């Protein structure tokens, strides 16, 4: 069965609300994609801890420094989605940069 791909926050909120209202639990495995065995081990652990597993796939441009190449970061969304479907993941949260950082976004953390 294909994994449900959710790209908008409203869809994510709707899906998680339905699961919670039915008494289900959700585990999240956050990633930047290009899934490997370490990610899949986390998915398997999450499946043992919750009724539903969601995986996020977001290559965050704010995680890249001035000399790091955001554009060259490996992206394999179709292969990742297929791999997650095979693993029985409920949903893949794959937002765009503008969904995470909408116009007017101004929050930042400085350590």
- Show which residues are catalytic: 39
Length of the chain equals: 111
Structure tokens at 110: 């400085």
CA–CA dist 5, 3 (Å, integer) = 6
CA–CA dist 57, 94 (Å, integer) = 5
Check the CA dihedral 101-105-106-109 and report its sign.
Answer: negative
Per DSSP, the three-state class of 81 is helix
CA–CA dist 67, 15 (Å, integer) = 38
């Amino acid at each position: 069965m294909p994994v449900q791909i959710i790209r908008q926050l409203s869809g994510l909120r709707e899906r998680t609300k339905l699961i919670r209202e039915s008494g289900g639990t959700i585990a999240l495995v956050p990633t930047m994609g290009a899934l490997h065995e370490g990610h899949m081990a986390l998915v398997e652990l999450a499946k043992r801890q919750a009724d539903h597993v969601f995986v996020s796939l977001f290559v965050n441009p704010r995680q890249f420094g001035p000399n790091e190449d955001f554009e060259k970061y490996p992206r394999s969304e179709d292969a990742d989605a297929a791999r997650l479907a095979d693993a029985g993941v409920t949903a893949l949260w794959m937002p765009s940069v503008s969904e995470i950082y909408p116009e007017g976004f101004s929050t930042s953390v400085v350590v």
